[in-house]
Amino acid sequence: MRRICLALPTNRSCLPAISALHDEAVYAVTHFDVEVHVLVLDSCGPREFGQHAAAVRALPATAGVVTHHVGEAEQREFLREVIAASDADKPEVLLDLMLPAALSYGACTNRAFLVAAALGCTSVHRRDSDSRYQVVAGTAGPHGAITEPGADGGRSLTAYPIHHELLTLGRRAADAAGSVTTADLDPRHAGKPVSMVGASFVGEMSVDIAEMRAIDADAYREVVGLWAPFDWSAEQKAEFADDSFRGAGTEQFTADHSLLTHVDPMRVDMCNIAFHGVQEAVPLLPATDTIGSDYFLIHLVHDATLPGVLHNRNIVNFYTPERRTGPGFTAYQTRFAKFFLSMLYLNFVYDRMERAGEALLDDRHQVRTEAVVELLWESSRLDQTENVRRLEVLDRAYRRLGGRYAEFADVLAAGRARLLDEARRDIEEFAVLTEVWPALVRGARTTGPALLQRQPD
């Protein structure tokens, strides 16, 4: 029986998401031979944490489903044990990278990876607190597959992504081919494991910038184009901007479809993803206050020519209101700006990984950590001129947008030197963490799950 980790990192109240996550776990054990460890990594304040704890305790006991609700104090204790077991140098530095004081999308998922390793889980399936599952009218087929509704409209079914994840994740591509709708994978990759299964989202954009596009579409394209490689033409960047952060748009789920392929990183999202193997070779960027810091493995799987499955059980994305007003707006736009500055380094690494291709893998089709580390350190030595220009573009575009965007331009201008330094330090710290990551995973396995495990009543 496979043991898997269904993970929900959160720093906000999300009672419906916790309940829905448990429902997805019940679906998994009902249709597949698995043991599901539902992991809620909770960074909320005392009131919300207490509410979450009560909600987890109230979840109905289900054979094969084990729940874990872990606060930051328990996470810190666990990480200290893991780091000590790894014999890595500078343990306090590593602890800060794994559990920073500021928000980090990459670090919270890295913690999920280590907890999953401690629990003996072979894969990690990540969801987000500000998303929900699509519910459709349809007919259930084998393993819970959803087919087109009949004349009577079928019954109400929930499109849980874990359906496609458990059908194929971790299997040889040749063996997984019979469990997908179609495949476009070259036969020479048939012996490699399916290392990622994912889909995207429908609903609101994955980055909260729809207002910017509504105010000034040209300024929006100029800003979002900063995500693209800097040497692309203006036309390429504008086209890229129009395709960015939109997920599956408004495409509603009707029936299952899946594709065995090298998954395009632009077609999947971290709210709807599962990894096998790669998460134990390389972590995610632990940068703080930076959106997109958790997307590295999506690119690594693609660039290293590892098979993946792209399916259409897209999750519904929505936003909580705090990021749209006052301090929340400033904090979110800062994370957005820092994302663009990180791309100086990450686009370089993605380009070199794509060139390396299969050379990133060993003879067992596993990612060679040291090959990625070398590229990270190489990127850290890049000249910062491109990032200076990125800040200039942001300043010009935000002032053109006016209002609170122009006010935020003043914030960016005042923090320019600090932001440039932080972007370089972020990639250096990523290299440091990646160097010791396999040792941390081994440390997690040896510490055991006793600190974290709670059997349902």
Q: What phi, psi does 446 have (nearest 5°)?
A: -85, -20
Contact 200, 267 (CB under 8 A): yes
What confidence tens digit (pLDDT) does each residue in 357-371 have? Answer: 999 999 999 999 999
pLDDT at 356: 98
Distance (Å, rounded) from C-alpha 228 to C-alpha 343?
8
Residues 6+ apart with CB under 8 A from 241: 220, 221, 222, 223, 224, 225, 227, 228
Neighbours of 149 (CB within 10 A): 16
pLDDT at 204: 67
Q: Where are the domains of the chain?
A: 2-57+66-447
Tell whether the model's pLDDT for residue 212 goes beyond 90.
no
Distance (Å, rounded) from C-alpha 172 to C-alpha 189?
9
Given pLDDT bands bounded at 50, 70 and 90, which one contains residue 152?
low
Averaged over 392-411, what is the pLDDT?
94
**Helix 326-356 / helix 369-380 crossing angle, nearest 10 deg:** 120
pLDDT at 326: 64
What confidence tens digit (pLDDT) does each residue in 81-134 have? Answer: 999 999 999 999 999 999 999 999 999 999 999 999 999 999 999 999 988 999
Element (H, E) at 147: strand 146-147
Distance (Å, rounded) from C-alpha 283 to C-alpha 11?
20
**pTM for the structure as a whole:** 0.94
What confidence tens digit (pLDDT) does each residue in 24-42 have? Answer: 999 999 999 999 999 999 9
Q: Please identify, in words, the CATH class of the domain defined by 2-57+66-447.
A: alpha beta
Instruction: Give me the chain's average pLDDT, please.
Output: 92
What confidence tens digit (pLDDT) does each residue in 282-329 have? Answer: 999 999 999 989 999 999 999 999 999 999 999 998 765 555 566 788
What percentage of the chain carries pLDDT values higher than 90? 76
